[in-house]
């Protein structure tokens, strides 16, 4: 029986490669990875962008302190990944279900205590890394022109991380969570004029109520992470675009024209 | 104007750009504004408050506080509960005036909220010292709930009480300044003396004194 026409079809040669011989199947298999990458890159043209991001010139004299930003990024990714998976077991139920679901994660779920611990301790690690990163940028003078906007976005990211800490603290819904949130919301309320209304917004009412927990949960897992991811992207774009500043103890190389000796 | 036909004040290209941007803006507003209103709504939403029975008049004396578990937010279990410290009003020391509401004389029983007026931790009543003491940051209040020391900015909040059909009913919370004058309920940490009452205005969300028309019926079996 003859093969259907469709199976016997040969694709037309790519433009510019018409006269090249077809590789043997074994060679084609060996180069499958390159072929796939080429196929994607031909359609997306992503490789110049990736080269621009990953393979860039850095100044002389940089050291381990320059990795604190990347460390913070990975702390954020840890929070994002463990948070997504904790959400599979967590229930933001104010009448006891939230506490029960956390207890279930810690006691029953396979690796539950580990993933919960990664998220809980990772939060503290992230705050510590942010401050170390901030200290490096401050003491090395790396916030100066033209990197002011990178610094400002970094400060916004710090504030958002603090807001993550505040909203996340309520979620286990034990006594400590509950009273810490009462105190935290009341600190917000002491702002003059708009403070009382901010409290009503945070609690979804005049008292800690039925939807306060789900409100904190939505802010914690949807609203702030989305804003943070976008701002981290912009932060990294600026870092790549503007380059990394040299440490302050490395003297700038003076231009040739200045150091040239002139015979008189 | 270059690119425009005779008599046109705006080019077609510019007009088209404007229309496209406006349509995009309207489309974005169509979901952003309702979502924003949805999130901000509770600020303007007034929570109803039901009178609740906390005991019989003979349960309370002038000399000591009785601890009563009360419901602040119904339907959410323990998270919606709080503590009120209740005693009978003693005319010798309680100089703040009584007042009438719907033919009831209110506040013949003094019911203090357990929320510390520093940042909202629960205070406990220490009988030997006749003081309310907050575990968080060391706020201390005297027998009438006035600030005796520490960081609190105003006396303990109170609840309206009334007597009906042989039972004591507890109403919504209200706040007091250092003269024990009544204000609509504020959150902890907000002073009410001097400029404080203007810096921390009343909110839309707090209950007005509810009508006494539909008081919950006393329990069928007396004393339960």
Please give the Cα distance from B114 to B134 (Å, whole number). Answer: 9
pLDDT at B222: 59
Residue A196: which of B40, B72, B201 has the nearest Cβ?
B201
Average pLDDT, integer, range A81-102: 95
* Co-location of B133 and B28 in the same domain: no
Residue B73: which of A185, A190, A210 has the nearest Cβ?
A210
pLDDT at A250: 87
* Co-location of B68 and B27 in the same domain: no
* Co-location of B31 and B97 in the same domain: no
Tell me: pLDDT of A98 over 70: yes
For the ranges A189-193, B23-27, B104-108, the maximum mean pLDDT occurs at: B23-27
**In the 3-class helix/strand/coil scheme, how is chain B assigned residue by residue?**
CCCCCCCCCCCHHHHHHHHHHHHHHHHHHHHHHHHHHHHHHHHCCCCCCCCEEEECHHHCCCCCCEEEEEECCCCCHHHHEEEEEEEECCCCCCCCCCEEECCEEECCEEEEECECCCCCCECEEECCCCEEECCCCCCEECCCCCEEECCCCCCCCEEEEEEECCEEEEEEEEEECCCCCEECCCCCCCCCCCCHHHHCCCCCCCCCCCCCCCCCCCCCCCCC
- Chain B contact set for A197 (CB, 8 A): 43, 203
Average pLDDT, integer, range B19-41: 96
Which residues of A fall below an 8 Å CB-CB distance to B?
Answer: 94-96, 173, 178-179, 182-183, 185-187, 189-190, 192-193, 195-197, 199-201, 203-211
* Co-location of B104 and B67 in the same domain: yes
- Domains detected in chain A: 65-242 (1.20.810.10)
Average pLDDT, integer, range B23-28: 98
The chain-wide mean pLDDT, for chain B, equals 91
Asked if residue B7 is part of any domain, the answer here is no
A205/B40 touch (CB, cutoff 8 Å), yes or no: no
Per DSSP, chain A holds a count of helices (H) and strands (E) of 12, 0
Q: Quick: pLDDT tens for A125-183.
A: 999 999 999 999 999 999 999 999 999 999 999 999 999 999 999 999 999 999 999 99
- Chain B contact set for A186 (CB, 8 A): 119-120, 187-189
Tell me: pLDDT of B183 over 60: yes
Bond into B32 cis (ω within 30): no
Asked if residue B205 is part of any domain, the answer here is no
pLDDT at A30: 86
Q: Quick: pLDDT tens for B38-54.
A: 999 989 988 777 899 99
Tell me: pLDDT of A11 over 80: no
Which domain covers residue B184, as residue numbers?
Answer: 52-199
pLDDT at B101: 87
Chain B nearest-CA residue for A174: B79
A200/B43 touch (CB, cutoff 8 Å), yes or no: yes
Asked if residue B132 is part of any domain, the answer here is yes
Please give the Cα distance from A52 to A126 (Å, whole number). Answer: 27
Tell me: pLDDT of B7 over 70: yes
Residue B160, domain CATH: 2.102.10.10
pLDDT at B5: 75
* Co-location of B64 and B169 in the same domain: yes
- Chain B contact set for A96 (CB, 8 A): 77-78
**3-state DSSP call for residue A147?**
coil
- ipTM for the assembly: 0.89
pLDDT at B48: 76
pLDDT at B151: 96
- Chain B contact set for A204 (CB, 8 A): 42
Asked if residue B3 is part of any domain, the answer here is no
- Chain B contact set for A179 (CB, 8 A): 120-122, 136
pLDDT at A6: 57
Q: Quick: pLDDT tens for A213-252.
A: 999 999 999 999 999 999 999 999 999 999 999 999 987 7
B119/A192 touch (CB, cutoff 8 Å), yes or no: no
pLDDT at A257: 58
pLDDT at B195: 93
Least confident stretch, A110-114, B20-24, B44-48: B44-48
How close A179 comes to chain B (CA, Å)? Answer: 7
Average pLDDT, integer, range B117-134: 95
B185/A197 touch (CB, cutoff 8 Å), yes or no: no
B121/A94 touch (CB, cutoff 8 Å), yes or no: no
For residue B12, what pLDDT band results from cuts at 50, 70 and 90?
Answer: confident
Whole-prediction pTM value?
0.87
* Co-location of B28 and B111 in the same domain: no
Asked if residue B104 is part of any domain, the answer here is yes
* Co-location of B35 and B56 in the same domain: no
How close A195 comes to chain B (CA, Å)? Answer: 7
* Co-location of B147 and B195 in the same domain: yes
Using a pLDDT cut of 70, give the percent of chain A over it. 89
* Co-location of B66 and B140 in the same domain: yes
* Co-location of B151 and B195 in the same domain: yes
Chain A nearest-CA residue for B202: A196
Chain A nearest-CA residue for B206: A206
- Chain A contact set for B119 (CB, 8 A): 182-183, 186-187
pLDDT at B54: 94
* Co-location of B67 and B24 in the same domain: no
Chain B nearest-CA residue for A211: B76
- Chain B contact set for A207 (CB, 8 A): 47, 72-73, 80
A190/B189 touch (CB, cutoff 8 Å), yes or no: yes
CB B161 within 8 A of CB B108: yes
pLDDT at A261: 64
pLDDT at A254: 63
Output the CA angle A203-B82-B211, nearest 5 degrees. 80
Residue B79: which of A186, A187, A208 has the nearest Cβ?
A208
pLDDT at A1: 57
A186/B42 touch (CB, cutoff 8 Å), yes or no: no
Asked if residue B5 is part of any domain, the answer here is no
* Stretch 134-153 of chain B: residues touching chain A, C-beta under 8 Å: 136
pLDDT at B210: 79
Average pLDDT, integer, range B78-82: 92
Residue B205 φ then ψ, to 5°: -90, -10
* Co-location of B71 and B121 in the same domain: yes
For residue A18, what pLDDT band results from cuts at 50, 70 and 90?
Answer: low
Asked if residue B176 is part of any domain, the answer here is yes
Q: B206 — contact with chain A (CB < 8 Å)? A: yes
Tell me: pLDDT of B130 over 60: yes
pLDDT at A22: 73
B80/A210 touch (CB, cutoff 8 Å), yes or no: yes
Asked if residue B211 is part of any domain, the answer here is no
When divided into structural domains, chain B yields a total of 2
Please give the Cα distance from A140 to B62 (Å, whole number). Answer: 67
pLDDT at A10: 62
């Amino acid at each position: 029986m003859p093969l259907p026409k469709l199976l016997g079809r040969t694709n037309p040669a790519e433009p510019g490669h018409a006269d090249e011989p077809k590789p043997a199947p074994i060679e084609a298999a060996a180069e499958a990875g390159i072929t796939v990458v080429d196929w994607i890159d031909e359609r997306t043209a992503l490789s110049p962008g990736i080269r621009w991001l990953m393979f860039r010139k850095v100044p002389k004299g940089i050291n381990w302190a320059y990795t604190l930003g990347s460390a913070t990024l990975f702390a954020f990714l840890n929070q994002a990944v463990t948070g997504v998976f904790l959400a599979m077991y967590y229930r933001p139920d104010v009448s006891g279900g939230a506490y029960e679901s956390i207890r279930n994660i810690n006691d029953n779920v396979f690796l539950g205590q580990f993933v919960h611990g990664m998220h809980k301790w990772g939060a503290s690690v992230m705050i510590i890394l942010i401050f170390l990163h901030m200290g490096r940028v401050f003491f090395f003078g790396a916030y100066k022109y033209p990197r002011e906007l990178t610094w400002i976005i970094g400060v916004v990211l710090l504030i958002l991380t603090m807001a993550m800490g505040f909203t996340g603290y309520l979620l286990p819904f034990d006594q400590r969570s509950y009273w810490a949130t009462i105190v935290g919301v009341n600190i917000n309320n002491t702002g003059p004029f708009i403070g009382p209304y901010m409290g009503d917004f945070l609690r979804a009412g005049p008292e800690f109520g039925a939807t306060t927990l789900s409100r904190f949960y939505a802010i914690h897992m949807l609203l702030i992470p989305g804003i943070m991811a976008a701002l981290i992207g912009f932060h990294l774009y600026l870092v790549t675009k503007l380059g990394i500043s040299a440490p302050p103890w490395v003297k700038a190389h003076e231009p040739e024209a200045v150091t040239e000796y002139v015979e008189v | 104007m270059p690119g425009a036909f005779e008599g046109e004040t705006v080019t077609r290209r510019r007009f088209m750009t404007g229309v496209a941007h406006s349509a995009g803006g309207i489309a974005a507003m169509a979901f952003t504004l309702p979502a924003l209103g949805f999130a901000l709504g509770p600020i303007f939403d007034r929570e109803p408050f039901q009178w609740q029975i906390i005991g019989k008049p003979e349960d309370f004396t002038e000399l000591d506080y009785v601890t009563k578990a009360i419901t602040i937010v119904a339907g959410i279990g323990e998270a919606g509960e709080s503590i009120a410290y209740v005693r009978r009003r003693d005319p010798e020391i309680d100089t703040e005036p009584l007042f009438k509401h719907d033919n009831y004389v209110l506040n013949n029983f003094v019911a203090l909220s357990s929320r510390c007026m520093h940042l909202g931790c629960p205070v406990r009543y220490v009988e030997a010292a006749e003081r309310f003491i907050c575990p968080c940051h060391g706020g201390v209040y005297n027998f009438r709930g006035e600030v005796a020391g520490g960081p609190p900015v105003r006396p303990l909040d109170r609840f309206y009480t009334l007597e009906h059909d042989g039972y004591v009913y507890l109403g919504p919370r209200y706040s007091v300044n250092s003269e024990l004058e009544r204000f609509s309920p504020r959150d902890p940490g907000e002073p009410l003396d001097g400029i404080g009452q203007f810096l921390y205005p009343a909110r839309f969300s707090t209950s007005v004194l509810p009508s006494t028309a539909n008081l919950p019926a006393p329990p069928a079996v007396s004393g339960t």
